[in-house]
Structures are given as C-alpha cells and as structure tokens.
Amino acid sequence: MKRALFILTGFIALCIGAMFVADGIPPLGGRSAASPVAAAADLPQSPIRRCMNMGGALEAPTEGAWGYTIQQADFRRLKQAGFDTVRVPIRFSVHTAPQPPYAIDRAFLARIDQVVDAALTEGLQIIIDVHHYEALMRHPDQHEARLEAIWSQLSYHYAKAPPQLIFELLNEPNDRMTVARTDALNARLLQIVRQHNPQRWVIVGSAGWGSLDALMDSHPPQDPGIIMTFHYYAPFEFTHQGADWVGEDLPLGVTWGDSDGYRAIARHMDEVKQWAAVRKLPLFLGEFGVINKADHRSRALWTEAVRLQAERNNMGWCYWDYATAFHAYDQNQQRWLPDMRKALTGR
C-alpha cells in the first residue's frame, strides 16, 4: 500500500514537474496558480538541521524486540558526528489503556523521560513522535479520542521540559486518515498541546504516508510554532528493495545514480520548498533513507544527494535510520559505515 501510493504520487509529481519545466515555469505543485513564485525563495529556518531517526527501538512492540535499544552513548556519538537532533519514533498506542481516560503506562513514560534526558544531556534536540498507530489509520472514529488523550497527557507531562524537546503529532497518516481528516485532527491535537506548551515547536504532517503530494494538499493549522514534515523514499523500488514489510518482494540489485535520478530529487525538493515558502512554514524532511541491502555505492550517492538538496533548500533533515534496517551505524562492528557517515555529514 505504502509502495502503491509512493509510485502514484511520484508519477503525478513527475508529470506536473515535467509540464511546468517544459513551459519554463518552476513547478508549484500545481496547487495554486495565484501563488507568487518570486516570493517563494526563502524558507523560514527550521530549528532542526541534521537529525537521525532512532528507529527500531521504542516503536517496536517492546524496546529491544527489533534488535536495538537506545543508549546514551549513541546520542554522544551522533553529537560528535555533527548531528543536532534525534527523532525517536514511539509506539504509544500499545502502552496506553484501551478505555478512557486512556492512561499511558507509567513505566513506559518513565523510559521516555530517560531517553529525553539522555539526549538533552548530550546537547541534542529530541523529537518524540506517535509512531505506528495502525488502528487509528483503519478506524479513526474509534481512535481519534484516544490519540487526543495521549497528547493531553504528554502535553501536561512535558509542560516544563526545555524547548529542545520537540513534539511530532502523528507519523505517516494513511488509509482512512485522509488529508482532510488529518488536517482536522492536527488542528485539534495542536490545540490540546498548546494548553500547556504555548511555545514549543510542534511538527505537523499530512496523509499518504507522509508524502509530499499530500503535504501540498493539506491546510496546516495557523500557528507560529509549527514545522511541516514529509518523508521521501523515491524511487521506492530502490530504497525499499528486499524490504520484507512492504507486502511484496521488491527485487534486489536496483542501483541509483544517473542524471535523471538527481534531477528528480532536485525537482521534488524544489516543489515542496515552494509550497512551504509561500506559506512561510519551516520544513523538515523527517525521514529519508535506503535499506542496507541495496548496493552500497548507490545508497551513499542517493543519501548524499537528498541531504544536499534538503540543505540547499534550507530544510532540516532526518536520516532513517541509525541502527536497524536502513542503518548508517553498524551496531555489531560498533562503527559508522564510512560511506554513509560521509554522505550524511560530509566527513
């Protein structure tokens, strides 16, 4: 499903891009013919520049079940390598009571506190996001109130936390969480968060598994403290080759690196940047990455190309991920993969 949407949105983006480029007009995402292109040059600065996704730990059913447990030393290593932020995906839905008032498990919240403290101690910003809330995607009528209760508790619990703690409302809405439904839910969640966190940065995304097309169709809440996010895994056949969770076998051996590939990344990043800049919204590329089964040279080239395009457009970025299937750091050997470290940090 994730794959089908990527292909469709990628194809539409390419067609729109091709139409406008052929006319010599920069692509606007085809959203608003009246948008002033000239005014779109500058994107407001995101407080996040270089970020790593600590995937596979707290969004697993239990931490460690997917082979990775977050350690403070990981945060120290990331800081030393030049990262300023970590994003921690968290499966709150399995640690929250099924009935009102939907209490989050105290021991689990204490573990999140530890992780937050560890990141702050190492001088990093930390994003906590509600990840893999799959039942919400299938049955939003039954689960939206529960997610509101989760954010109400988190908002209260972290009301006094330093500003380096950043909230992300919901990872990759999909299925019945349409763009319109996600817009409405985002507005309500933000209102809840703002009751105790009037100033905190809050990351807001849209539907379609975080696709840039869905983002450009969305209507974000009016709020000076939000950052818009999207995820980028195109071409999906390359980034997810051999991935056993996408519902079909994508063959191995797909390489990347011709000039069309570079042009596609530049076009997509430009398109979403134009959208955000006219709305004066900071942008955060919250996930991008390539599975470790891909050809290593292609993998490093793609990663560096996306990273450089994000930086060129003044977007913060966050590589997926640190230590699991898309890893840049090798837990067994206890060292960075040198080509991935270079792709991400330039050294």
Positions in 306-345 near ligand BGC (CB under 6 A): 320, 325
**Catalytic one of 172, 237, 248, 304:** 172
Closest CA to 146 of 108, 112, 185, 175: 185
Contact 48, 84 (CB under 8 A): yes
Minimal distance in Å, beta carbon 266 to ligand BGC?
Answer: 22
Q: Which residues contact 61 (CB under 8 A, 6 or more apart)?
A: 91, 94
Q: Does 287 bind ligand BGC (CB under 6 A)?
A: yes
Identity of the residue, 50 or 131, whose beta carbon is nearer to ligand BGC in the bound complex = 131
Contact 207, 173 (CB under 8 A): yes
3-class SS of residue 227: strand
Positions in 81-120 near ligand BGC (CB under 6 A): 89
Identity of the residue, 276 or 323, whose beta carbon is nearer to ligand BGC in the bound complex = 323
**Catalytic one of 59, 63, 271, 287:** 287
Minimal distance in Å, beta carbon 82 to ligand BGC?
Answer: 23
φ, ψ for residue 336, nearest 5 deg: -65, 150
Minimal distance in Å, beta carbon 289 to ligand BGC?
Answer: 7
Q: Does 226 bind ligand BGC (CB under 6 A)?
A: no
- Indicate if 59 belongs to the active site: no
Q: Does 6 bind ligand BGC (CB under 6 A)?
A: no
- Indicate if 287 belongs to the active site: yes
Calculate the alpha carbon distances from 320 to 79, 144, 192, 258 in Å: 16, 27, 29, 23
Minimal distance in Å, beta carbon 185 to ligand BGC?
Answer: 18
**Which of 63, 172, 213, 271: binder of ligand BGC (CB under 6 A)?**
172
Identity of the residue, 270 or 320, whose beta carbon is nearer to ligand BGC in the bound complex = 320
Q: Which residues contact 318 (CB under 8 A, 6 or more apart)?
A: 48, 51, 52, 53, 85, 87, 127, 284, 285, 286, 287, 288
Between CA 140 and CA 155 the distance in angstroms is 21
Residues paired with 284 in a beta bridge: 229, 316
Identity of the residue, 127 or 325, whose beta carbon is nearer to ligand BGC in the bound complex = 325
Contact 104, 92 (CB under 8 A): yes
**CA torsion angle 3 292 271 27 (round to 10):** -70
Closest CA to 88 of 201, 200, 167: 167
Which positions from 240 to 259 touch ligand BGC by CB under 6 A, shown as an x/- string? --------------------
Between CA 254 and CA 15 the distance in angstroms is 23
Identity of the residue, 89 or 282, whose beta carbon is nearer to ligand BGC in the bound complex = 89
Between CA 295 and CA 298 the distance in angstroms is 6
Minimal distance in Å, beta carbon 55 to ligand BGC?
Answer: 6
Contact 220, 281 (CB under 8 A): yes
Minimal distance in Å, beta carbon 310 to ligand BGC?
Answer: 17
Identity of the residue, 140 or 210, whose beta carbon is nearer to ligand BGC in the bound complex = 210
Site size toward ligand BGC, by CB under 6 A: 7
Residues with catalytic annotation?
A: 172, 287
Residue ranges binding ligand BGC (CB under 6 A): 55, 89, 131, 172, 287, 320, 325
